[in-house]
């Protein structure tokens, strides 16, 4: 059993970019009345206390979502509205709970988690009959089992801990297989920048697949040669056509606020064209 627990990291700068992108994609998909399936391969607990022993030990939320304060920016509304009430109660919602709260009639969520304690928390926070399904199963296998979905519309979040270094290649293989099974799927891959060389290899591997319409969105808080996670990003397959423009309009001020030295560090690139 892997040891990673997001309770130590909830609300950090990586959650800000990850959840901003996720919510933008959900709201875009919901512009159509047709239902869709949300699939979260590494769901986590769903809700985290920011005053827990784990969160207080790292205090990462202080350099993340709490650092945004009352920053009201056009384009940030979906994210700030989604976390506002939780922050007022000293807690932070994870991706499965953010998605669950937005599910409409006919929409479904499939949440995968393997860690026993985290799985219990996920069920408490997110499980709902006929709408939000919690699965004690490897998320990579579960994703490929579910595709193609009956709805023919799906949003997938792949968010492993990368404790296993092979995951940097595994995620590419899984994305390519998912794309082959259902090419119209919106696939979001979160990645951490701890060693830039690994991300360079990840990007190169994605470019070698058959996937089309792949874009990258990254937010950095420090220079790459400094220790720790200096940036993180989302690689999006079939993203909303509005996402790149929204990113460029909204994230510069966010990046400057979250930066450790007030420098703006952002990347928005097309990895593979349509």
* Helix, strand, or coil (residue 131): coil
90: left (phi over 0), alpha (psi -120 to 50) or beta: left
User: Which tens digit of pLDDT belongs to each residue from 173-217?
Assistant: 999 999 999 999 999 999 999 999 999 999 999 999 999 999 999
Q: Which of 188, 96, 176, 190 is nearest to 144 (CA)?
A: 176
Q: What is the per-residue pLDDT for 147?
A: 98
> Cα–Cα–Cα angle for 37, 40, 42, nearest 5°?
165
User: For residue 199, what are the contacts with CB-CB under 8 A and spacing of at least 6?
Assistant: 191, 193, 233
53, two tokens = 């022993």
Instruction: Judge whether residue 18 has pLDDT over 70.
Output: yes
Average of pLDDT values for 87-114?
Answer: 97
Q: What is the per-residue pLDDT for 4?
A: 64
Question: Do the annotations mark residue 139 as ligand-binding?
Answer: yes
Residue 159 annotated among the catalytic residues of the structure = yes
15: left (phi over 0), alpha (psi -120 to 50) or beta: alpha
- pTM assigned to the model: 0.96
Average the pLDDT over each of 62-71, 111-120, 140-149, 209-218 and give the range with the smallest value: 62-71
Domains of the chain: 6-272 (3.40.50.150)
Question: Do the annotations mark residue 138 as ligand-binding?
Answer: yes
Average pLDDT for the chain: 95
Q: Among the options 86, 159, 167, 222, which is catalytic?
A: 159
Q: What is the per-residue pLDDT for 1?
A: 45
User: Which tens digit of pLDDT belongs to each residue from 223-246?
Assistant: 999 999 999 999 999 999 999 999
């Amino acid at each position: 059993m892997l040891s990673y627990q997001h309770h130590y990291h909830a609300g950090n700068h990586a959650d800000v970019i990850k959840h901003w992108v996720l919510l933008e994609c959900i709201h875009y998909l919901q512009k159509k009345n047709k239902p869709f399936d949300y699939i979260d391969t590494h769901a986590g607990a769903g809700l985290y206390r920011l005053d827990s022993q784990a969160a207080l030990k790292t205090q990462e939320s202080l350099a993340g979502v709490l650092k945004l304060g009352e920053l009201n920016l056009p384009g940030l509304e979906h994210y700030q509205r989604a976390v506002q009430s939780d922050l007022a109660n000293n807690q932070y919602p994870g991706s499965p709970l953010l998605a669950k709260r937005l599910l409409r009639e006919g929409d479904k969520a499939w949440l995968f988690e393997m860690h026993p304690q985290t799985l219990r928390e996920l069920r408490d926070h997110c499980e709902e009959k006929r709408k939000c399904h919690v699965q004690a199963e490897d998320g990579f296998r579960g994703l490929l089992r579910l595709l193609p979905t009956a709805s023919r519309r799906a949003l997938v979040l792949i968010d492993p801990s990368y404790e296993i270094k092979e995951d940097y290649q595994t995620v590419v293989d899984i994305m390519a297989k998912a794309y082959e099974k259902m090419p119209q799927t919106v696939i979001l891959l979160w990645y951490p920048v701890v060693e830039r060389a690994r991300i360079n290899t990840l990007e190169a591997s994605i470019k070698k697949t058959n996937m089309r319409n792949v874009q990258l969105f990254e937010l950095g808080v420090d220079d790459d040669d400094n220790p720790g996670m200096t940036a993180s990003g989302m690689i999006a397959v079939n993203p909303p056509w509005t996402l790149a423009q929204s990113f460029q309009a909204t994230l510069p001020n966010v990046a400057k606020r979250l930066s450790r030295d007030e420098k703006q560090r952002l990347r928005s690139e097309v990895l593979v064209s349509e």
